[in-house]
Homo-oligomer: A and B are copies of this chain.
Amino acid sequence: MPEFLKVLTYQNARQLIIDHFPSREIEYLPLEMCNHRVLAMDITSPEDMPAFARSTVDGYAVRAEDTFGSSESLQGMMECVNEVRMGEEPLFEIGNGQCAWIPTGGMLPTGSNAAVMVEYTEKLGEDTVLVSRPVAPGENVMLKGEDVSRGRTIFRSGRILKAQEIGLLASLGIDRVPVFKPYNIGILSTGDEIIPLDQVPLTGQVRDVNSYSLAAALESCGAIPRRYPLVEDDFASLQKAVENALKDNDVLIMSGGSSVGVADYSVEVMLSFPDSEMLFHGIAVKPGKPTIGVRVGEKLIIGLPGHPVSALMVFYILFAPVISPASVRQVEARMTVNVASQPGRDDFIPVQLLQDDEGREAKPLLGKSGLMSIIAQADGYVHIAYEKQGIKVGDMVKVNLF
Contacts and interface: CB of A to CB of B under 8 A. Distances in A.
Contacts of A147: 371-373
Given A191-B86, A193-B87, A216-B163, A203 B370 contact: no
A203 B89 contact: yes
A171 B87 contact: no
A58 B191 contact: no
B148 A370 contact: no
A278 B197 CA distance: 50
A16 interface: no
A252 interface: no
Contacts of A402: 162-164
Interface stretch (A46-54, A60-68, A70-78): A46-54
Given A89-B204, A103-B261, A373-B148, A197 B209 contact: no
Interface in A135-167: 142, 146-148, 154-155, 161-167
A286 interface: no
Chain copies in the assembled complex: 2
A107 B204 contact: yes
Interface stretch (A21-29, A122-130, A291-299, A306-314): A306-314
A32 B227 contact: yes
A260 interface: yes
A337 to B, nearest CB: 21
Interface string A341-375: 00000000000000000011000000011111101
A45 to B, nearest CB: 9
A148 B170 CA distance: 49
Contacts of A169: 212
Contacts of A307: 104-105
A162 B376 CA distance: 9
A323 to B, nearest CB: 13
Nearest to A208: B170
A242 to B, nearest CB: 20
Contact of A171 (B165, B173, B207, B263): B207
A272 interface: no
A167 B312 contact: yes
Interface in A4-60: 31-32, 34-36, 49-52, 56, 58
Given A35-B220, A167-B375, A213-B166, A368 B105 contact: no
5 contacts: A50-B206, A87-B204, A107-B203, A163-B216, A163-B402
Instruction: Identify the 7 closest CB pairs spanning chains A and B, nearest first.
Output: A87-B193, A167-B213, A163-B217, A89-B203, A168-B376, A163-B216, A170-B212
